[in-house]
Amino acid sequence: MEKVVKRDVRIDILRCIAIVAIILAHSEPSGLIFQLRNFDVILMVLLLGTSFYLSNTKKKQTVSYPVYLGKRFKRLIVPTWIFLTVFFVLFYIISLIEGTKYYFNFNDVFMSYSMFDESKGIGYVWIMKVFFLIALVSPFLLKLNQKFESNTKYFLILISSYVGYALLQLLNPILTGSFQVFFENFILYGIGYGLVAAFGMRLKLLSKKELYTWTIAFLMMFLFFSWHYHFNSTQHYKYPPQLYYISYGMFVSLFLYIVLNITRIQSLFNNKFIMFIAQNSIWLYFWHIIFIYLLKFFGDEFSMFNNNFVTRFAFIFVCALVVTYVHDLLKKKLYHPSQRVRVLGKTSVK
């Protein structure tokens, strides 16, 4: 009898929490709130690993690596480029209406499309590069996950890999030029976040005792590094990810995962609104960037929304949510089966 893998709504709820926390961070909150939500990217990456594991346990057939990469490219990079095109065209039109010089130069546009360096271009889209880097290594991480039945052996390999990653980080300040930029933004980012995704692939296989042990272990690591770094913000250890930043993100992520196992708490978040955000998280993320820049360029005109981070967050989140909802409606209408007709034996859209 074929084993049916039941959908874990905790994954969707956590994905919703992560994307809302990211938008909150981009609304320029106070230092304490900014620090408290600084688990969001780690949580998203952890869920990428868990989702990849769950989706591949259902598949009877595997696709070739080139075909897989093509699908990941279309799902992650192509939508990013489509959004960037809409973004730059929109603000070009706004600059014409306002009669002002265009807000971005060629380097801004080029670096945004390349996603080479998170500090260049319009920013914000660097996370899609991280997601694609994880996609590059996910099939290999899954094979590693399947090879070792013992959780102890599997995590010993991850710990050893992190030691190697930490040693590579020591090389980063020594390197110079474009190779240093490539090394940091692709090699270090890929390995650092790849290890988090690898942990996520094992998440569903952990016993309660192991899950609690890892949660406490990450908490102890975070507290130690907090003392060691004189309670400096974990944000300073994010690019590329270091253990201080990772330990905080992992502790909060696992803690939330445990809390959501409580039926009453899970039921509070298990609704259509949360599921909509979770299922449209990528486009919600894209659209919120437009409203960030509207406040950046026209903060005086939007002063009622730009006075404090609460109103900024409400403006950015609600506007992005509305656009995402309209976008989702149009997408469903365009690709709904009732909108398709048969032409010469092929399916086309009216």
pLDDT averaged over the chain? 91
Measured CA to CA in angstroms, residue 47 lies from 54, 169, 290 at distances of 10, 25, 26
By the 8 A CB rule, do 299 and 291 touch?
no
Residue-wise pLDDT for 179-202, tens only, equals 888 899 999 999 999 999 999 999
3-state SS class at 261: coil
E strand spans, the chain: 340-343, 346-349
pLDDT of the residue at 343: 39
pLDDT of the residue at 333: 82
Count Cα atoms within 13 angstroms, Cβ side, for 80: 23
Closest of 34, 54, 36, 42 to residue 18, by C-alpha: 42
Confidence class for position 54, pLDDT limits 50, 70, 90:
very high
Q: What is the pTM of this model?
A: 0.91
Residue-wise pLDDT for 139-168, tens only, equals 999 999 999 999 999 999 999 999 999 999
Considering the chain, what percentage of its residues have pLDDT values greater than 70? 93
Is 50 exceeded by the pLDDT of residue 267? Answer: yes
Confidence class for position 340, pLDDT limits 50, 70, 90:
very low
**Residues 224-231: contacts with CB within 8 Å, 24+ apart?**
none
